Amino acid sequence: MTKNMQGSINSLMVMLTRSCQFACDYCEVALGPESMPLPILMRAIDLLMTTDDERCQLRFWGGEPLIKWASIKKAVDYAQKRAVTAKKSIKFMITTNGYLLDEKKLRYLEKNNFEAMLSFDGNEYAHDRHRHLKNRKGTYTRTLENLRRLASYNIPYFVNLVVTPDTVGVLSDSLEFLKNNSIASVQICYRCGVAWRRKASGELLAQLENFLGRGNRADFIMNFHNDCEPTMLSQEILVDVDGRIYYDAAIFLEKKFPSLKKSYELGNIGGIKNIGRLYASKPELRKRFLLACSEPQKKIFLNNEGLGLKMKAFFEQRNQGSISSNEHPVIGPVAAQGFREQNKILIELDIDAVFMKIEGPCLNDCVFCRQKTSSAFDALPSILERLGNGRGSVSKKLCLIGNEPMLHPKITQILRKIKKSGFSMIEIMTSGNMLADPAFTKKVVDAGATSFSIPLFSNHADVHDAIVGRKGACNSVIRGIENALRSGAQAFIHTNLIRQNIAHCLELERFVRKQLALPFAIFTIRPKTSNLAFPRLMPAYAEIISRLTGVKSMVGFPLCVTQKVQAELFKNENEISDSMKLYFLDQGFVKLRRCSGCIFIKKCAGIFREYARFFPTDEIRPITARHANTIH
Amino acid sequence: MVPLISDNKNTGANAANMAIALTHHCQMNCRYCGISSKSFDMRQETLYKSIDILFSAQHNDIELQFFGGEPLIRFDLINKAVSYSREKAENTKKEITFLLTTNGLLLNRKILDYFRALRATVLLSLDGAPAAHLKSRPLKNKNGPHAYESIMHALRGLQERKMDFFINLVYTEKNLKILFDNVSFLAANGIKKIKLSYAVGSKFKESDACAVYGTLEEIFHAFPALEFPGSCGENEPILATPQITVDSTGMVYRGCALVLEKKYPGFNRLMRVGPVKDAPDYKSLQRTAAQQTEFLLERKREIPAVLLDNLRFGQTLKELLSARRMRT
């Protein structure tokens, strides 16, 4: 419900019908054949019009309101006319299972200022487990089809996802699935009326954390913005099919809490003159709720309320800022800008290069990477156009970034043009797979490539191959590196330190430095665009210190952690590719308050905000001058 | 000892296998282990008779699993079993492989070399990082030496020798939350193969299957370089596994009854087949997993509620995990 500061009410739910095609396991509404007679519906609209607010919303609810399509049309017609005389703007909302949503109805909803709430429980497992027809046939396929159809219209909508103790384990999968299906936003509701054991409620929050930890944007989940918890104390007003008025929970929980109807009843549609008088605060509702409960019901209520409050706290906490006010500037999509603008930002970050991103797919399917686009390549003319803008670059080095720039069918042509535009050095960020073909490598180098920035996750072929999701990748990369060097180009090798390869990093460093005799850098994994929750990839600093002591190649870790692992605090800049510098800096960092005492506070990037959220930060200790002397 | 069922990795599903509990003695006092310590060690004639029965199978591939207690406490019996079964294998022209289930405390250099020479598979019970391991797998002698160090030593011995081994990591509903971290710890120690097993007799219910699946799926996805035997639910429901186990007393059991004997003697009786000396042949002992599930469901009145919950949990988990096979 939306209410303004005075506590007035500007929306009303109408129970259009108690009939529904579905027989969802968790639905606590007593379904039946009854529908709302038209006179009651019109009276309900009259009641809504008594609101003090200039804007109001009529919400169709059920059962399944689309079963009464004719009533909806008549109600909309009547409400619009009444709104004109009452000088109010009116909008509509429909809560639907989506089963009957066809093009004709969607066009109507679009035309008439409707908002839609479609109930859909995520992936097939979660959805079909509880949302089935009366004959227990699953409803997933048809609902998803109609959801997609809904999404293609210009109708504001969101998915209402009900999570139950037995589907909570797939919640993050479900959210990921909806996000991948371009669903605009999701409202997560936990099943009310059953007890959530501690394990299940813990799992619910863990699943949310997991989803958000993958760098998913918070605005996808509506619970961040709306203050609806605990949902059992919903202040919405609902008109039942028979014209009786209740607070929302009396109906959506009527089977579990039948006595609530008496406690929550507000009278008959004929008897109420002003909708504003129906307002009740949440504490008042809580009191009434508890009064209506038997002892076992009370237990369930308190359990669900507790979970609601936990959810509320979860979202509120994540809405607040970080533990530190000391934010490193995030440079954002630098590569999307003109070269001149890039120069300005990058020179300050000690990067003497400009960047050009080439859209396109990748050969690898790395476990930690979410940028798995299968999109088409940038067209050659658009690349050349962007290049044309960049003649004014001060820097003479250009880095081609993207998933796999060398997969572009016109790569040699692009390289020649870049060279012609005045760049004497061209770095390509690549998985290295394609360099395994010596003829191709020679062609690319001849066309202008001067260096390659290549990741290697282990010198054990099976480990590297599994992490990048490509069989034979390790051998191709190592052959590729040799080919690049033979053709006269430089190669910068780096790895991202993750839980999945921490066992192999020491050995990998030895391999690259001794056997390949090449520069090597161990970067921290970044939370941005990560495919897994950050703590599922990032080893704790304590673990890094205990396992990596003796390496020489760590870059981008807090300096106080670095100094416990390697003698040199700062790596030779020439050993790091410019592409990787950008990759690393393009992040949000924080510094802890205690860092203010560190002599390297300006030189240290700090830690990722996500690290501070998920791990203890005991290892983060300011380096004082006395300590620093013992290092150098 | 852990409730472990062979995954038949070495010999394929078509191998005849048998677990032999050589002794009930063990240095450890694992929280989830319910093997009684009262029983005596296996007699030589029982051991040979068991091997005879195993070799009576039609199969060409034979797998013998040393089980206990801690089987290495009776290394002498292992040695006898190895000689006897190798001789039998030669006479019958069958392939024999060995699987050693161990807590790792006695895996010294000599024993490691012995099993390497046999090309045996070693199944090492390790529950993850020190805190987790010591909590669920404490020593009987509380003042004894630090057990974890010796297990890690054994682990390095297995790795250095490039032996075929895997870790059996047992979880319960209590430590499911830190399962990811424990797997991550093992991965950081260079381990490549981990079998994740829930403890039978722990309080997993059917409604927990989804949460467990969520945790497992995340682990499988996050560690693509690791091998997780049974990750498609092949062995579920664990409670209805038809694995044949000969107890040190000479009694034949199906499935994991042995590790439940202390807590659920009634279930133990239900899973009892009879003395090995009376068994006519291997085939007469064999059952499929489906038959075993059916058998348990028929007799569900005799099964304690906790175990029945475990059974249903396992069935649902199987259903969820089996979808992975299509994906992979």
Instruction: Encode pLDDT of B32-91 as tens digits.
Output: 998 887 778 999 999 999 999 999 999 999 999 999 899 999 999 999 999 999 999 999
**A460 compared with A279, residue with greater pLDDT:** A460
CA-only gyration radius of chain B, Å: 19
Kindly list the residues from chain A whose CB atom is less than 8 angstroms away from the CB atom of residue B225: 458, 462-463, 465-467, 500-501
Q: Taking the CB of residue A279, how many other CB atoms lie within 10 A of it?
A: 15
pLDDT one-digit tens code per residue, A111-155: 998 999 999 999 898 999 999 998 989 999 999 999 999 988 888
Q: For residue A632, what pLDDT is reported?
A: 38
For the record, the structure tokens of B91 come out as 């006479």
* Segment (H or E) for B98: strand B95-102
Q: Give yes or no for residue B164 having a pLDDT over 90.
A: yes
Q: How far is CA A14 from CA A11, A17, A45, B68, B267, in A?
A: 10, 9, 9, 67, 56
For residue A171, the chain B residue with the least C-alpha distance is B214
Nearest to A169 by CA among B326, B176, B117: B176
Kindly list the residues from chain A whose CB atom is less than 8 angstroms away from the CB atom of residue B176: 199
Q: Which of A166, A167, A199 sits opposite B173 (nearest CB)?
A: A199
**A178 compared with A594, residue with greater pLDDT:** A178
- Of A19-23, A515-519, B254-258, which range is least confident? B254-258
Q: Which of A465, A469, A503 sits opposite B187 (nearest CB)?
A: A503
Which CATH class, in words, describes the domain spanning A11-318? alpha beta
Specify the amino acid at residue A169: G
Question: DSSP secondary structure string, A196-254?
Answer: --HHHHHHHHHHHHHHHHTT--GGGBGGGT----SGGG---EEE-TTSEEEEHHHHHTT
Contact B190 A504 (CB under 8 A): yes
Q: Give yes or no for residue A94 having a pLDDT over 80.
A: yes
Q: What percent of chain A has pLDDT over 70?
A: 91
Q: Give yes or no for residue A322 having a pLDDT over 80.
A: no
For the record, the structure tokens of A486 come out as 């033979």
Task: Give the relative orientation of helices A473-486 and A438-447 as an angle to the nearest 10 degrees.
Answer: 50
The minimum CA-CA distance between B3 and chain A, rounded to whole Å, is: 24
What integer is the mean pLDDT of A528-555?
87
Task: Band the pLDDT of A368: cuts 50, 70, 90.
Answer: confident
Euclidean distance between CA atoms A201 and A224, whole angstroms: 18
Query: Does residue A166 contact residue B210 with C-beta atoms inside 8 Å?
Result: yes
Q: Taking the CB of residue A313, how many other CB atoms lie within 10 A of it?
A: 12
Which CATH class, in words, describes the domain spanning A331-587+594-630? alpha beta
Contact B224 A168 (CB under 8 A): no
What integer is the mean pLDDT of A21-25?
94
* Segment (H or E) for A505: helix A505-510
Q: For residue A319, what pLDDT is reported?
A: 57
Which of B189, B207, B217, B219 is the mutation pick for testing A, counting most A CBs within 10 A?
B207
pTM for this one? Answer: 0.67
What integer is the mean pLDDT of A446-469?
95
pLDDT one-digit tens code per residue, A390-427: 667 788 899 998 889 999 999 999 999 999 888 999 99
What integer is the mean pLDDT of A328-336?
50
Q: For residue A627, what pLDDT is reported?
A: 53
Q: How many residues does chain B have?
A: 328
Asked if the domains A11-318 and A331-587+594-630 are classified in one and the same CATH topology, the answer is: yes
What integer is the mean pLDDT of B131-146?
82
Q: Which of B188, B215, B224 sits opposite A503 (nearest CB)?
A: B188
B184 touches chain A (CB under 8 A): yes
Q: What mean pLDDT, rounded, does chain A reach?
A: 86
Query: Does residue A584 contact residue A599 with C-beta atoms inside 8 Å?
Result: no
Q: For residue B68, what pLDDT is reported?
A: 86
Task: Band the pLDDT of B7: cuts 50, 70, 90.
Answer: very low
**B162 compared with A582, residue with greater pLDDT:** B162
Q: For residue B326, what pLDDT is reported?
A: 67
What integer is the mean pLDDT of A355-379?
81
How do the domains of chain A map onto residue ranges? Answer: 11-318, 331-587+594-630
**A378 compared with A541, residue with greater pLDDT:** A541
Q: What mean pLDDT, rounded, does chain B reach?
A: 90
Here the ipTM equals: 0.78
Q: For residue B10, what pLDDT is reported?
A: 41
Q: Give yes or no for residue A22 having a pLDDT over 90.
A: yes
- List, in sequence order, the alpha helices (H) in A59-197: 69-86, 103-111, 124-130, 140-151, 171-180
Q: Which of A579-583, B4-8, B270-274 has the highest mean pLDDT?
A: B270-274
B188 touches chain A (CB under 8 A): yes
The minimum CA-CA distance between B219 and chain A, rounded to whole Å, is: 9
Contact A210 B218 (CB under 8 A): yes
End-to-end CA distance of chain B: 32
Sequence-ordered list of residues with C-beta below 8 angstroms from that of A226, at least 6 positions apart, any chain: A187
Contact B222 A537 (CB under 8 A): yes
Kindly list the residues from chain B whose CB atom is less than 8 angstroms away from the CB atom of residue A467: 224-225
Query: Does residue B69 contact residue B262 with C-beta atoms inside 8 Å?
Result: no
Kindly list the residues from chain B whose CB atom is less than 8 angstroms away from the CB atom of residue A199: 173, 176, 208, 211
Where does A498-606 show beta strands of DSSP type E? Answer: 520-524, 554-555, 589-591
Task: Band the pLDDT of A222: cuts 50, 70, 90.
Answer: confident
Which of A127, A177, A199, A468 is the mutation pick for testing B, counting most B CBs within 10 A?
A199
* Segment (H or E) for A267: strand A265-268
pLDDT one-digit tens code per residue, A476-501: 999 999 999 999 999 999 999 999 99
What integer is the mean pLDDT of A264-292?
88
Sequence-ordered list of residues with C-beta below 8 angstroms from that of B191, at least 6 positions apart, any chain: B155, B167, B226
